[in-house]
Amino acid sequence: MSVVLGANNYGKSEVRLVKVDRGPDRHELHDLTVDVALSGDFEPAHVQGDNTGLLATDTMRNTVYALARTHPIESPEAFASVLVSHFLQAGPSVTSARVRIVEHPWARLGEHPHGFQRAAGGEHVATVTGDGTDTTVEAGIDDLLVLRTTGSGWEGYLHDQYTSLKETADRIMATVVTARWTYSRPSELDFAQLWEGVRATVLEAFGDHYSPSVQFTLHHMGEAVLEAHPEVERIHFSLPNKHHLLYDLSRFGLDNPNEIFHATTEPYGLIEGAVERSPVPSRDNGGAGVGAARA
């Protein structure tokens, strides 16, 4: 039997980093979880047990803390880019590096200069991958819980012999948004400002329309992001439908005018999809390009 080593990588995961920027009058807090993964020519280690040239994962952890001391953390994307650049030089066998960072949100206690409380509204996620020539930056949101008490329905769907759900034009719609998007010019962008802008657009679009389905809202939010932020090329959503079921109070002699609900955790519907910019038609197509079509 002949076998070969397939695609592989190694690194350090769940590196917990907290950095306090101690200004003279005000502190800033950065709370990150960092994952590092390196790819390259690691076959000797796998096949022969030869670790020559391999960077220890413990060293990767130490590097995260050391570079956090010597570099500002302006955004997860920017700090991940610093780490990727460093790890590409970590050894001759490394050909690409991937760093994923999750920033856990904290909110200031009013105007307190160094007091914070855990904030809601989603975690800032960034993944930077580089090979020394090309760099890709993917940003995202995790754990963004949103809910609408009205303005959503579910009607006109397929019914068969197993259908029991009643159609409705007025239901609670709740989901935990997971989103990932990519940028067209990652070297020229203010990542922190853009992330806040995309998040604000997602929140506004979630609530500014009547939603006949979670699918419709997914596309509506994605379209709004692409229209408001030309830097974003593509955005993918994962939207679990956190069902709120109208509770039957008739057995107690009570009505229920769409007020009392049973919030369920499982099972749940899961709606996923991407909204992306359509490719620009080629003008060099034997005279049949965009110009010819308009002629």
Active site residues: 12, 57, 243
> Which tokens hold the place of 156?
């006109």
Q: What interhelical angle do 191-207 and 214-228 show, nearest 10? A: 140
CA distances from 76 to 22, 101, 126, 140, 189 (A): 19, 6, 6, 11, 13
Can you tell me the distance from the alpha carbon of 295 to that of 258, in angstroms, rounded to the nearest whole number? 57
Task: Provide the b/e sequence for 240-266 (b: ≥16 CB within 10 Å).
Answer: bbbbbebeeeeeeeeeeeeeebeeeee
As beta bridge partners, residue 155 has none
Can you tell me the distance from the alpha carbon of 142 to that of 120, in angstroms, rounded to the nearest whole number? 11
- Residue reference for tokens 């090309």: 134
CA distances from 120 to 138, 145, 202, 291 (A): 22, 9, 15, 50
Three-class secondary structure of residue 53 per DSSP: coil
